[in-house]
């Protein structure tokens, strides 16, 4: 049996009882280590679970999935995912491979950023399409995510922005030369994401467009959701470009039309309480 087990968002104890029981009876336990990170760290997980964890990076999951599934038809294998197992399309691919090999599977769900984001007070059914904001390079600066945010805002709904994670990435030079030398991990912060959005806004204005999203659009920054040191900050997009929320992982929300209760909740986390009272807010909230 292949078990896909969600670990939740905070620490080792966030796994469900059902998930923990499955982990402890599995012969091999893999920890997916590239779509997200758990603040607790690998050693804390191993101590709590009483199991050695095999780190599964992107290369292993996408190119060597058969090694994960080996003997899963006659023994139990666990694949652990921070958040919920289906937070990334890669994990659906693993399920399909298992089915094609005649291996039974079971999914044990847990909290993910997709539902825990409600901690800021914005109502989950008021969210539109989720977007990913990627790190720009000198030669690659995509703006497609901005158009999705704009469409959501035109429809009056909020946008959850998942911020880029670079784990075990190779430089272009090392990739070309086939050297397995990896860059240090990088995690996009709320202020980096906000800066990229502000740059796109300026680009659109130079093209004669007045974007649906401006410097004064109300946004929410979230860091380490589910952990003991979780942080939430609300304010304008411009304020998000200077806010400091500490270590990873970060997410950001660009708000749409807000219910009065949502507004009152966001005031609890305001960078500057006057933001929610001034004329700019009244025009752009």
Looking at residue 208, its pLDDT comes to 93
The reply to whether omega before 249 is within 30° of 0 (cis) is yes
In this structure, the answer to whether residues 273 and 136 fall within a common structural domain is: yes
44 CB-near residues (< 8 Å, 6+ apart): 11, 12
In this structure, the answer to whether residues 15 and 136 fall within a common structural domain is: no
In this structure, the answer to whether residues 95 and 161 fall within a common structural domain is: no
Distance of CA 187 to the CA centre of its chain: 10
In this structure, the answer to whether residues 145 and 94 fall within a common structural domain is: no
User: How many domains, the chain?
Assistant: 2
**The domain containing residue 17 runs over which residues?**
2-111
In this structure, the answer to whether residues 162 and 34 fall within a common structural domain is: no
In this structure, the answer to whether residues 103 and 137 fall within a common structural domain is: no
Higher pLDDT, residue 154 or 169: 154
Looking at residue 114, its pLDDT comes to 93
In this structure, the answer to whether residues 161 and 259 fall within a common structural domain is: yes
The pLDDT tens digits for 13-28 are 999 999 999 999 999 9
In this structure, the answer to whether residues 98 and 118 fall within a common structural domain is: no
Higher pLDDT, residue 1 or 278: 1
Sign of the dihedral defined by the CA atoms of residues 127, 200, 264, 114, in that order: positive
3-state secondary structure string across 215-270: CCCEEEEEECCCCCCCEEEEEEHHHHCCCCCCCCCEEEEECCCCCHHHHHHHHCCE
In this structure, the answer to whether residues 261 and 136 fall within a common structural domain is: yes
In this structure, the answer to whether residues 154 and 262 fall within a common structural domain is: yes
- Binding-site positions for S-adenosyl-L-methionine read 9, 84, 87, 112-113, 163, 225, 250
Q: Which domain CATH number covers 30?
A: 3.40.1010.10
- Binding-site positions read 9, 84, 87, 112-113, 163, 225, 250
User: Which two structure tokens, joined as six digits, stand for 58?
Assistant: 């992107």
pTM (global) more than 0.85: yes
In this structure, the answer to whether residues 190 and 273 fall within a common structural domain is: yes
Looking at residue 170, its pLDDT comes to 62
In this structure, the answer to whether residues 93 and 227 fall within a common structural domain is: no
């Amino acid at each position: 049996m292949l078990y896909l087990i969600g670990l939740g968002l905070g620490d080792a104890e966030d796994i469900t009882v059902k998930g923990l029981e499955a982990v402890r009876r599995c012969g091999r336990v893999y920890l997916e280590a590239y779509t997200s990170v758990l603040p607790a760290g690998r050693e804390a997980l191993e101590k709590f679970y009483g199991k050695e964890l095999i780190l599964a990076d992107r290369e292993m999951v996408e190119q060597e999935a058969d090694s994960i599934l080996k003997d899963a038809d006659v023994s139990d294998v666990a694949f652990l995912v921070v958040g919920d197992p289906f937070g990334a399309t890669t994990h659906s691919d693993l399920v399909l491979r298992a089915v094609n090999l005649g291996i039974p599977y079971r999914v044990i769900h847990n909290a993910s950023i997709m539902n825990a984001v409600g901690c800021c007070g914005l109502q989950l059914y008021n969210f539109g399409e989720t977007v990913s904001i990627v790190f720009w390079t000198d030669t690659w600066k995509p703006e497609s995510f901005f158009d999705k945010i704009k469409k959501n805002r035109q429809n009056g709904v909020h946008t959850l922005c998942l911020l880029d994670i670079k784990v075990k990435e190779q430089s272009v030079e090392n990739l070309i030369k086939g050297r397995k030398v990896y860059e240090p991990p990088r995690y996009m912060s709320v202020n980096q994401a906000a800066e990229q959005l502000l740059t796109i806004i300026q680009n659109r204005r130079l093209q004669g467009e007045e974007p649906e999203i401006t410097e004064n659009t109300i946004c929410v920054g979230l860091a380490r959701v589910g952990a003991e040191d979780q942080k939430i900050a609300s304010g304008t997009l411009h304020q998000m470009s200077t806010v400091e929320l500490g270590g990873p992982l970060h997410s950001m929300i660009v708000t749409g039309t807000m219910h009065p209760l949502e507004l009152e909740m966001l005031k609890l986390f305001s960078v500057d309480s006057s933001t929610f009272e001034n004329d700019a807010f009244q025009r752009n909230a």
